[in-house]
């Protein structure tokens, strides 16, 4: 029992550290399998229309999962665990009246069964399914107690991860709104200047045609600048052009736009011709945007530089500033810099690596490496 | 001549304003500032009649500049020229003593009129700004219960009697009273009572 409790607390701590729903679920189902000593474990989240939104398994190979085909429906014993908050144990699943009498194609034969609903705020949000107790014919009352304890933690972990995901989405919306305001502000200035100059030219026309001509030349130039700016801004609001123009051109435009909006210089160096998949491009662009935003907003830097290097099949993105820097290991700072974590998550999802080198007073360098 | 100072961190806007305003018979641009601090220094040095001021500026922003302007040079009339109408800026700017609030989509001729109006002691607001301010004034800040309590304060009742009248505890009444004072921006119940009488909250025959 003592050993089990230690395993449980370890599992719960690991789960609490996750910020996204999927890894939380994967860890939960692995922990359930280990704690109960089951050969197979699954965690199913119903989608409310008779199917599972997610059905995550442990103890099964990818080949086996692929061979079984689509996710199960919420009927039979699977469905029963989502209807009442009570757990259920049996020695032989095939003897249960709710068993349909046959396994789907490629599905392993299973005997002993333990099902435990996961209840959050009075609602069954998911269930654990464990089958084939190892080294015993059936799951014990002790196994059931352990999984019920895990289920209570699972409810909290799933809810938390969902909330965190939602708040991150909201942050993105906020960031877009902020961007839209900055863009509006930048365009308004140029257009207002244009309107004033046009009015001046109109006034001058009668009094001093030559001066009016000078005014109009100025207007032409300003109109041209405004047009360029608008183009950049419209582009900024339509990231779809990434697929048409590629990563290098998109980064160049983004940096141009930042220069205009923030009135600060950002050096840009691109070497080699990066050829990467569109999904990789998108993530690399996001990481570059995030790193640049951090440098512009928090670093108080004199110099900001973005380098993109493509060599062989490696792509290296570097965003460096000579600003105030920070201690990347400081936990409080890290949580305030949500961006750091999300950059790391994106890098991991790409199968790449992200290194943040910074020291207080000594600038910050973010380096992303991915294979193209 | 109306002597005007321009405070805006966008060179494009400063240049446009200067050229256009200098063409007006009765207006002379006497200086340009790129931030709030420079604006304050130039106001002291040049004593303009009217300041056109952007709100988002480096170092000292427009709102802070307006506050200090009112302290140091209360005779100077200020017109906010912003690209936004939002509550975070609008209300502080008006409270800091702006005589006008225009947006950067204003017609140049309207801007000239605004400068003349404000110089003559009037005020001028962009219609959207005026709408927002009116809406704010029309919103009743008090809850129905607070209205009842205020009405009784207006009749000169002490908390104990108000509590008996409304079948509330004295403590609850006290809480209502302090909330009312805070919302009306007054410091004591006498002022609240005067407000109640003025607003017609004290019924006839009471």
Give the pLDDT mean for B10-36: 93
Asked whether the beta carbons of B79 and B115 are under 8 A apart, the reply is: yes
Angle between helices B11-22 and A141-207 (to 10 degrees): 30
Helix then strand then coil, % of chain A, to nearest 5: 55, 20, 25
Give the pLDDT mean for A349-358: 89
Alpha-carbon distance of A341 to A339, in angstroms, equals 5
Q: Any chain B CB within 8 A of the CB of A177?
A: no
Asked whether the beta carbons of B22 and B29 are under 8 A apart, the reply is: yes
Q: Verify whether the Cβ–Cβ distance B108 to A188 is below 8 Å.
A: no
Residue A42 CB burial class (10 angstroms; 0-12, 13-18, ≥19):
buried
Alpha-carbon distance of B125 to B130, in angstroms, equals 6
Closest residue in A to B86 (Cα–Cα) = A181
Give the pLDDT mean for A147-156: 89
Characterise A342 by phi-psi region: left (phi > 0), alpha (psi -120 to 50), beta (else).
Answer: alpha
Partners of residue B78 on adjacent β-strands? B51
B148 CA to chain A: closest CA distance, Å?
40
Alpha-carbon distance of B82 to B16, in angstroms, equals 15
Q: Verify whether the Cβ–Cβ distance A185 to B20 is below 8 Å.
A: no
Q: Any chain B CB within 8 A of the CB of A197?
A: yes
| pLDDT digits 0-9 by tens, B83-132 | 888 878 888 888 888 999 999 989 999 999 999 999 999 999 998 888 88
**Does the pLDDT value for residue A281 go beyond 70?**
yes
Q: Verify whether the Cβ–Cβ distance B16 to A181 is below 8 Å.
A: no
**Does the pLDDT value for residue A333 go beyond 60?**
no
Cα angle A130, A136, A140 (rounded to 5 degrees) comes to 60
Q: Verify whether the Cβ–Cβ distance A197 to B13 is below 8 Å.
A: no
ipTM above 0.90?
no
Q: Please, which contacts does A77-83 make with residues 24 or more away whose CB atoms are closer than 8 Å?
A: A77/A113, A77/A115, A77/A129, A78/A44, A78/A52, A78/A127, A78/A129, A80/A115, A81/A44, A81/A115, A81/A116, A81/A117, A81/A127, A81/A129, A82/A44, A82/A46, A82/A117, A82/A124, A82/A126, A82/A127, A83/A124
Closest residue in B to A184 (Cα–Cα) = B83
| pLDDT digits 0-9 by tens, A159-214 | 887 787 777 777 767 767 777 777 777 788 888 999 999 999 999 998 899 989 98
Q: Verify whether the Cβ–Cβ distance B84 to A181 is below 8 Å.
A: yes
Beta-strand relationship, B2-7 and B27-33: parallel
Q: Any chain B CB within 8 A of the CB of A189?
A: yes
**How many of the other CB atoms lie within 10 Å of CB of A134?**
11
């Amino acid at each position: 029992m003592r050993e089990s409790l230690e395993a449980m607390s370890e599992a719960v701590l690991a789960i609490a550290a996750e910020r996204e729903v999927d890894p939380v679920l994967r860890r939960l189902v692995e922990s359930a399998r280990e704690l109960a000593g089951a050969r197979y474990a699954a965690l199913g989240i119903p989608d409310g229309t008779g199917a599972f939104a997610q059905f995550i398994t442990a103890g099964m190979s990818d080949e086996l999962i692929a061979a079984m085909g689509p996710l199960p429906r919420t009927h039979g014993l699977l469905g029963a665990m989502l209807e009442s908050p009570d757990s259920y144990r049996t020695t032989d699943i095939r003897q249960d009246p709710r068993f349909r009498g046959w396994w789907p194609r490629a599905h392993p034969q299973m005997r002993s069964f333990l099902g435990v609903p996961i209840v959050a705020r009075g609602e069954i949000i998911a269930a654990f399914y464990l089958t084939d107790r190892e080294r015993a014919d059936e799951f014990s009352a002790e196994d059931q107690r352990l999984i019920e304890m895990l289920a209570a933690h699972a409810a909290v972990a799933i809810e938390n991860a969902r909330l965190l995901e939602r708040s991150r989405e909201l942050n993105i919306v906020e960031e877009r709104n902020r961007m839209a305001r900055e863009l509006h502000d930048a365009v308004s200035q140029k257009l207002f200047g244009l309107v004033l100059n046009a009015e001046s030219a109109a006034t001058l026309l009668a009094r001093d045609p030559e001066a009016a001509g000078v005014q109009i030349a100025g207007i032409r130039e300003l109109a041209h600048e405004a047009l360029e700016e608008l183009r950049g801004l419209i582009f900024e609001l339509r990231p779809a052009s990434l697929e048409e123009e590629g990563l290098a051109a998109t980064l160049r435009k983004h940096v141009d736009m930042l220069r205009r909006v923030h009135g600060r210089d950002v050096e840009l160096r691109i070497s080699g011709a990066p050829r990467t998949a569109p999904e990789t491009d998108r993530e690399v662009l996001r990481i570059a945007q995030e790193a640049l935003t951090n440098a512009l907003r928090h670093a108080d830097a004199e110099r900001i530089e973005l380098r993109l290097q493509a060599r062989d099949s490696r792509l290296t993105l570097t965003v460096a500033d000579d600003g105030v820097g920070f201690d990347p290991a400081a936990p409080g700072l890290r949580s305030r810099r949500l961006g750091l974590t999300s950059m790391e998550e994106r890098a991991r999802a790409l199968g790449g690596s992200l290194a943040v080198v910074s020291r207080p007073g000594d600038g910050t360098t973010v380096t992303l490496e991915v294979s193209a | 001549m109306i002597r005007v100072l321009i405070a805006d961190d966008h060179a494009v806007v400063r240049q446009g304003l200067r050229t256009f305003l200098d063409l007006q018979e009765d207006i002379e641009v006497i200086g340009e500032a790129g931030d709030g601090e420079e604006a304050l220094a130039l106001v002291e040095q040049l004593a303009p009649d009217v300041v056109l001021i952007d709100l988002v500026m480096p170092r000292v922003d427009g709102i802070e500049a307006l506050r200090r302007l009112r302290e140091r040079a209360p005779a100077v009339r200020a017109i906010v020229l912003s690209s936004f109408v939002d509550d975070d800026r609008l209300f502080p700017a008006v409270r800091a003593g702006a005589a006008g609030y225009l947006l950067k989509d204003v017609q140049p001729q309207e801007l000239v009129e605004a400068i003349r109006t404000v110089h003559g002691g009037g005020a001028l607001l962009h219609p959207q700004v005026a709408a927002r301010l009116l809406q704010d004034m029309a919103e009743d800040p008090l809850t129905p219960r607070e209205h009842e309590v205020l009405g009784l304060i207006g009749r000169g009742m002490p908390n104990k009697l108000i509590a008996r009248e409304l079948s509330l505890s004295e403590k609850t009444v006290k809480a209502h009273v302090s909330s009312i004072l805070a919302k009306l921006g007054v410091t004591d119940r006498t002022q609240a009572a005067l407000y109640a009488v003025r607003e017609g909250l004290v019924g006839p025959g009471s």
